[in-house]
Amino acid sequence: MIELSYIPTQPPQLEPSTIKTENFSSYLPDFQEIKEEAFQSYDSHYVTAFPVQNTYASFTPDYGQIYTPETTIQSGQEQNRTSPPLTLAASLPPPENANSNNVDQTKIFLQTPQTQTYIATSIPEGAYTVFEEIPTDFSNSSNSNSSYAYPISLSINPPTTDMLPQPTFQTSTPDHQHSTQSSNGLPMDTKKVAEDILSELKRYSIPQSVFANKILGRSQGTLSDLLRNPKPWDKLKAGRETFRRMEQWLQQPEMKRVTELQQATRLAGSMKQQQKDLNLPRQKAKKIRRIFTDSQRRVLHNVFKTNNRPTKEHQMALAEELNLELSTVSNFFMNARRRRLSPV
């Protein structure tokens, strides 16, 4: 398969005549012929058509809008459905060696995020458009049993890191600074932002680790904690920056932000697999995290219940009694105070 370059820019203006309808049954043994009537109300210049399990769909290029009329076949019954219009995400130039005589060289794979179904399509000669991410939202579907509501994404050869968009922090406020306002000039409802982020990540199957690393520059564990226990805005200091990044991400066009992260998710997956395949050694020694014994934990918690701020002498006595470092005991109370007494 040839390598396609990734160009996250405006799609070229395509003349409908440069786009062909293709029947890809040769690539898909179980391909079911698309019925024209399913798409008759749409632009007839399909870019591609393919089945996803029992579903098939067609995309029509409309320079920024994509419509995905779909037909689902379940238990012998057909249902025609139409998705909301979706925004065109990206375009790819034709590979240099693409030509009409050798279309097999220009296969592109569309796949569901579940990576259960791969759909191969060839590219017409000349300019063409592909849809990098096509999240669909059928959450309002009255038929929750429909099996076709897969977001559909494009996967070429796994993109390399330098092909991907760089982290989009888009903030002018360094980590060590913090202003008193969110991006809209008002105190931020951190709880709402956290809920929205959780909901979006779930909706688009974006792992916390990907969002945390790519958008926030933080670890998965940190993000999880922030989302589950968001501090009120007025209690935050430098931590406001992280919430600002979350808010800014939510404010971006849905297509853009989701596309970017779904791509990063795939990249993370392929890199993980590569590491696994190559059996690469760990870069640095793993730090062992202390685990309190049951009795140590019990004593520390009991003391904390009656006195969450023991004196240094008390902590030293506890450390000796439990065979722990003073710093360990001190850390325990410090962490316990902010985690167990945390407001919200």
Which positions lie near DNA, rule CB under 7 A? 175-176, 201-202, 207-209, 212, 217-222, 224-228, 231, 235-242, 269, 286-292, 297, 309, 312, 325, 327-328, 330-332, 334-335, 337-339
The smaller minimum CB distance to DNA, of residues 105 and 222, is found at 222
Query: Least separation, in Å, of the C-beta of 202 and DNA?
Result: 7
| Minimum distance from residue 330 beta carbon to DNA (Å) | 6
As measured in angstroms, the least distance from the Cβ of 159 to DNA is 18
Is the Cβ of residue 27 or residue 292 nearer to DNA in the bound state? 292
Burial (CB count within 10 angstroms: exposed 0-12, middle 13-18, buried 19+), residue 223: buried
CB of 238 to DNA, least distance (A): 4
**Nearest distance in Å: CB 160, DNA:** 20
Q: What are the tokens at 196? A: 């929205």
Of 33 and 195, which CB lies nearer to DNA in the complex structure? 195
Token code pair at residue 119: 């759909």
Q: Would you give the DSSP letter of residue 4? A: -
Q: Which two tokens stand for residue 39?
A: 């798409």
Cβ proximity to DNA, 35 vs 235, nearer residue: 235
| Listed residue (302, 193, 200) closest to 258, CA to CA | 200
Taking the least distance from each CB to DNA, the nearer of 192 and 309 is 309
Task: Give every CB contact of residue 84 below 8 A, 6+ residues apart in sequence.
Answer: 136, 137
Nearer to DNA, 86 or 193 (CB): 193
318 touches 303 (CB < 8 A): yes
Contact 250, 188 (CB under 8 A): no
Distance CA 59, CA 50 (A): 10
Q: What's the min distance (Å) between Cβ of 1 and DNA?
A: 24
**Burial code of 13-22, b = ≥16 C-beta within 10 A, e = fewer?**
ebeeebbbeb
Backbone angles phi, psi at 67, to 5 degrees: -115, 140
Of 146 and 248, which has the nearer Cβ to DNA?
A: 248
**3-class DSSP assignment, residue 64:** coil
Q: What share of the chain is helix, strand, coil (3-state, %, to 5)?
A: 35, 15, 50
Closest separation in Å from C-beta 246 to DNA? 11
